[in-house]
């Protein structure tokens, strides 16, 4: 089975995490998602938001194309309420 990938490079926050969250919600706990992102704000905020929602950041590495590859593992907590209050 191939690793699901989501490219949010064309988008700005908070849309980067909204799209990531929707994709994570479709995965089973323990499954992984590769997210392609670009820009200082998404690189800082997207991993933090994922961890706050109970997911694990496996890695965050430059992709050699001016962006980053973020590898997330879905947490066992299931879908968290959206939007946060």
Catalytic residues: 13
Q: How far apart are CA 58 and CA 56, in angstroms?
A: 6
71, 46 Cβ separation under 8 angstroms: no
**Three-state secondary structure call for residue 9:** coil
List, in order, residues 6 or more apart from 83 with CB less than 8 Å away.
none
């Amino acid at each position: 089975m191939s690793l699901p990938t989501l490219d949010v490079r064309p988008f700005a926050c908070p849309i980067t995490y909204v799209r990531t969250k929707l994709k994570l919600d479709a995965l089973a706990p323990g499954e992984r998602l590769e997210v392609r992102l670009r820009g200082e704000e998404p690189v800082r905020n997207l991993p933090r938001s994922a961890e706050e929602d109970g997911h694990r950041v496996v890695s965050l590495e430059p992709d050699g194309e001016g962006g980053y590859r973020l590898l997330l593992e879905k947490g066992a907590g299931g879908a968290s309420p959206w939007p946060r209050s």
